[in-house]
Each structure stands twice: as structure tokens, then as C-alpha cells.
Structure 1
């Protein structure tokens, strides 16, 4: 029921991106993703619904055919199978929430 951030190892994904898989079950998952300035979250899609909350930093996000700049406090919804990705403009952290959980992350 309780997941302590201090107990989770930050996984280096390379190219300026790292992540921590936070609390999850079969139905949902929270993930903390750290970006260095200039890091690129490549365009991709997946069958999961996703909400992304910008905890800190500034990002240029593309979701489908739309590209916008977002910063701390902003939230984005990504429907299943929609192509999306980002470029980090100022180092920051995203909190991604998925439903169902991303089995490929654990």
C-alpha cells in the first residue's frame, strides 16, 4: 500500500532519461521519469491510457497531430494507441500514470 520514493532505484534508460516505477497493480501504474535538458522521448504508441503530470521542467510534447509546450503543473491525456513523444526544453520530471499497468516496465 505504501511505496517510498527513497527506496526505489532510479533506472538509467540512457540518453538523458531515467525512471522510477512507483506504486502499481494490474490495473494501474505510476512512473516518475527524469529528463535532462535536450533529452528526447521518442515518438511511440502503446495500448495503455496515459496521464502525464509535469512535476518540474519544460517540455515540447507531441500527441497525435498536435505539438505544444508544457511546464510544471500541466497535465496531458494520451488515449490508447495514439503516437506521442517529447523534447525536454528545461530539465524536469514527469509523473506518468498508466491503465492498465505497463508489464514491460517491471
Structure 2
């Protein structure tokens, strides 16, 4: 299947945060999340495995009890049900891969 960026929908999901589903199928989903500087991704949990690639910007990420600064080129893994969230230090873009798909995003 092919998914074209120009045909994808951008949703505002928080103050200074937008989300766009880039592709989905089978048990996988790829999502782009754009953050303005200072925006917060609140700590939350979900039953999905999640990989995050930092395409641009800088963030402070909390995963479980660990907190680290990450920048463009870094990646993160979040196992199911682990609390995680972030604060955007420099405007940036995250690319998230979920399995299974986040049906609520569709």
C-alpha cells in the first residue's frame, strides 16, 4: 500500500502538538508528531509497543522512572503499559511506530 503525505490529516492533539498518521496496516502504524518549543506530551500508558525516532528538535523524555534528553537521530523504545511522556526543549518532530495499531488515531 502507498500513503501520501499530502493526503494525510493533521490533528491538533494538545497545546502546540499536532499528529498525523503516516501509514497503517496489519498490526503496525507510523505516526508523525510535531511539537512546538515548550509543548508537553503528558505522561500516559497504553497497551501498544512503541518505537520513537527523533527526526528533529530536542526533548526531555520520561520512560518509567528514567528521564533523558534526546535529540535528532536518537530513538526510544516503550514497552506496553510503561508510563512515558515528554517536554519539547526545541521545536521538533517525532516519528512513532506502534504495534498493534492505535485504532483511536484512525
TM-score of the aligned structures, taking structure 1 as reference length: 0.97
The offset of 1:8, in angstroms, is 1.2
Aligned position for 1:97: 97
Give me the whole-angstrom Cα distance separating, in 1, the residues matched to 2:104 and 2:96.
14
Q: Which shifted more, 24-33 or 47-56?
A: 24-33
**Partner in structure 1 of residue 16 of structure 2:** 16
Does residue 78 (structure 1) correspond to residue 78 (structure 2)? The answer is yes
For residue 104 of structure 2, give the secondary structure of its aligned residue in structure 1: helix
CA deviation after TM superposition for structure 1 residue 26, in Å: 3.8
In structure 2, the gaps of 5 or more residues are none
SS in 2 for 1:80: coil
Equivalent residue number for residue 4 of structure 1: 4
Deviation at 1:13, TM superposition (A): 1.6
Q: CA RMSD in A?
A: 0.8
SS in structure 2 at match of 1:104? helix
Q: How many residues align?
A: 106
Task: Indicate the SS of the match to 1:6.
Answer: helix
